[in-house]
Amino acid sequence: MSTAATATAATEAAPPAKGSKKKLIIIIAVVALVLVGGGVAAMLLMKKKAPDAEAGAEAEEGAPAAHAVAAKRDPKHVPTFVPLEAFTVNLADRDAERYAQLGITLELEDAKLGDQIKAYMPAIRNQILMAIADRTANELLGREGKQQLAEKIRRETAKVLGFAVDDDDEPGTAEAAAPAKKKKKKKAAAPLPITAVHFSNFIIQ
Question: Could you give the CA distance from residue 146 to residue 202 in angstroms, rounded to a whole number?
Answer: 9
CATH no., domain 80-179+189-204? 3.30.479
The predicted pLDDT at position 58 comes to 44
The predicted pLDDT at position 109 comes to 85
- The answer, yes or no, to whether residue 132 has pLDDT greater than 80, is yes
Quote the pTM value.
0.56
Which residue in 26, 36, 193 sits closest to 106, CA to CA?
Answer: 193
**Position 184, amino acid:** K
Domain range annotation of the chain = 1-72, 80-179+189-204
User: For 145-203, what is each residue's pLDDT tens digit?
Assistant: 999 999 999 999 999 999 988 876 565 554 455 555 555 555 555 688 899 999 999 99
The predicted pLDDT at position 170 comes to 63
The predicted pLDDT at position 4 comes to 46
